[in-house]
Amino acid sequence: MRLIARFALDNKKDFEIVDVFDKKIERQKIDKKNPVVQSLMPKYPAAIWMERKIRDEFGIEFEGAFDKRPLVKHERFPKNIYPLRKDFEKKDIEFDDFKPYKYEEIEGDNVFTVPVGPIHAGIIEPGHFQFSQAGERILHLEVRHFYKYRGIEKMVEGKKPKEIKKLVERISANESIAYQIAFTDILSQAGESQIPSSLKQKYFTVLELERIIHHLTDLGAIPNDAGFAPALAFMSKLAEDARRVMAKITGHRFGFGAIKEEIELDYETLIDFVSHLKKEVEFFEDWIEDIASVWDRFNTTGALSKEKALKYGVVGIGARASGIKLDRRDNDFYKNFGFKMQLGKKGEVADRFMVRIKEILNSIEMIKNFKTGKNEKLCIKEFKDGEYMSFTESSIGELFMYMKIKNGTVERFYVRDPSHINWQAFHTTIYKDIIADFPLINKSFDLSYAGNDL
């Protein structure tokens, strides 16, 4: 059984832990005077960050947890402040004295540490990577994020559902369409309205274009980190062309505001572009396959075995490249328009690279099949109080979204970005690789910092 999400609710009289698995949902009430619950860490490694986050935000303790370090509370964050409790209303806080963070490090003769980040030499969001090294070989890596923790879950409380749309669609820009679709699905559930089939086709058309853009960017960056810069130049041009098409058909380069109750798409522009893109990607595939130095770096590097991917609950490209059949598009609706799951075998950089190429070509096929002349509309008049959940396959992987509506406003909002799962498994892929391969392996997953750091 796969753990998808573990999060907490403050019901004023008690706390509640919600565990979302792929086959069931479990709930536990917790006494506020003694907020303790059994940890899932020993069985589900994906729960580690989830539980540490809950502990920081709600003050709930996890019995049997083997990692109780702060996660979102960095070195000077006050110890006894829990920002997601309903009674927390402070606008400002006084910082505590500096408390050093204890990293997981390997000790021994000739072993040393290499800190990378959180500020990086490039246009990249903050994230820290702490390496234990023996020469060039990586012995261990700890990933530490949440430097840009924005308090989004608290920010949306008390607002009407439609009022938070602009914020939700900007949580993670390279997954904006996926976030909008998940959010719109929740609104349709709460409004007891079904999204018309033709409108779904339009939603998924834009989602596949977003996936193509993300994959194109990665297909240039991955070889570049292996020393083959021409691939970056070639794919950067195609990614920019795709961004311009996105802007033309949605009004924004990142598709902000694209998923609405009614959509008209410029199919002529889109079909012309993807038809041209198919030829360019096929040329690129033939070209890159003959660059032996690239494959010398791709093969055997950053391997994530199927067993480890399953153990850590990995999703998206990371899972499929390791041979796991996991994709939220694997349903009758998508299959009717040509969806075919793309799988790798060994979970190496080479697998993640090739799965991206195959997914682009499959996305192009689906975009052509999604074309519809109908102009149906989603009509939502009011929202019914209740709890709602939604799943979307973003360009990174399975996106999970939850919203509780009470008295017509948002009582609780929670997102589990695919990156929140995959970042925790990332350290297992670099064991015995050299530190020079770290950027290459990192880019082959291309995870979101913003989607992770809510």
For residue 327 the two structure tokens come to 């994709």
Q: Does the structure show a pLDDT above 90 at 289?
A: yes
Q: Is the pLDDT of residue 34 over 80?
A: yes
**pLDDT tens per residue across span 156-177:** 999 999 999 999 999 999 999 9
What local confidence, expressed as pLDDT, does residue 105 receive? Answer: 85
Q: And the tokens for 107?
A: 């000790």
The pLDDT assigned to 91 comes to 80
Domains held by the chain: number: 3
Type of residue numbered 265: L
Cα separation, 277 vs 283, in Å, equals: 10
pLDDT at residue number 16: 97
One-letter amino acid at 17 equals I
User: What would the mean pLDDT of 279-303 be, rounded to a whole number?
Assistant: 96
Question: Do 139 and 239 belong to one domain?
Answer: no
Q: Are 138 and 219 contained in the same domain?
A: no
Evaluate whether residue 47 is within a structural domain. Answer: yes
How many angstroms separate the CA atoms of 93 and 71, rounded? 18
Domain check: are 454 and 352 in the same one?
no
The pLDDT value recorded for residue 310 is 97
Share of the chain above pLDDT 90, in %: 89
Q: Do residues 79 and 8 both lie within one domain?
A: yes
Looking at the fold, whether 70 and 116 belong to one and the same domain comes out as: no
Lowest mean pLDDT among 265-279, 392-406, 425-439: 425-439
pLDDT score for 425: 95
Q: How far apart are CA 330 and CA 71, in angstroms?
A: 34
At 168 the pLDDT is: 97
Residue 96 sits in the same domain as residue 142:
no
Q: How far apart are CA 303 and CA 452, in angstroms?
A: 23
**Angle (CA) 344 349 171, round 5°:** 95
Q: Decide if 152 is inside a domain.
A: no
Query: Which band of pLDDT confidence, cut at 50, 70 and 90, is reported for residue 122?
Result: confident
| Structural domain for 137, as ranges | 108-147+423-454
User: Given this model, what pLDDT does residue 387 score?
Assistant: 97
Please check whether residue 276 lies inside any domain of the structure.
yes
Q: Examine the domain organization and report whether 273 and 143 are in the same domain.
A: no
Q: What is the CATH number of the domain that holds 219?
A: 1.10.645.10
Structural tokens at position 386: 């209740």
Predicted TM-score (pTM) of this structure: 0.96
Domain-located, residue 396: yes
Poorest-pLDDT segment among 15-29, 125-139, 231-245: 125-139
Assess whether 403 and 254 both reside in one domain. Answer: yes
Q: What is the pLDDT of residue 92?
A: 83
Tell me, yes or no, whether 401 lies in a domain.
yes
Q: Which residues pair with 35 in a beta bridge?
A: none
Q: Write the pLDDT tens digit of every residue in 367-416.
A: 999 998 888 999 988 899 999 999 999 999 999 999 999 999 999 999 99
Q: What is the pLDDT of residue 123?
A: 76
State whether 185 and 304 are in the same domain.
yes
Each residue of 182-200: b (16+ CB within 10 Å) or e?
A: bbbbbbbbbbeeebbebbb
Among the residue ranges 16-30, 47-61, 108-122, 331-345, the one predicted with the least confidence is 108-122
In this structure, the answer to whether residues 74 and 192 fall within a common structural domain is no
Over residues 345-373, the pLDDT tens digits come to: 999 999 999 999 999 999 999 999 999 88
Mean pLDDT calculated for residue range 41-45: 95
Same domain, 98 and 137: no
Least confident of 28-32, 33-37, 76-80, 263-267: 76-80
Supply 228's token pair.
């083959």
Q: What is d(CA 83, CA 145) in angstroms, rounded to the nearest whole number?
A: 18
203 located within any domain: yes
pLDDT score at 84: 95
pLDDT class of 79 with cuts at 50, 70, 90: confident
Same domain, 314 and 379: yes
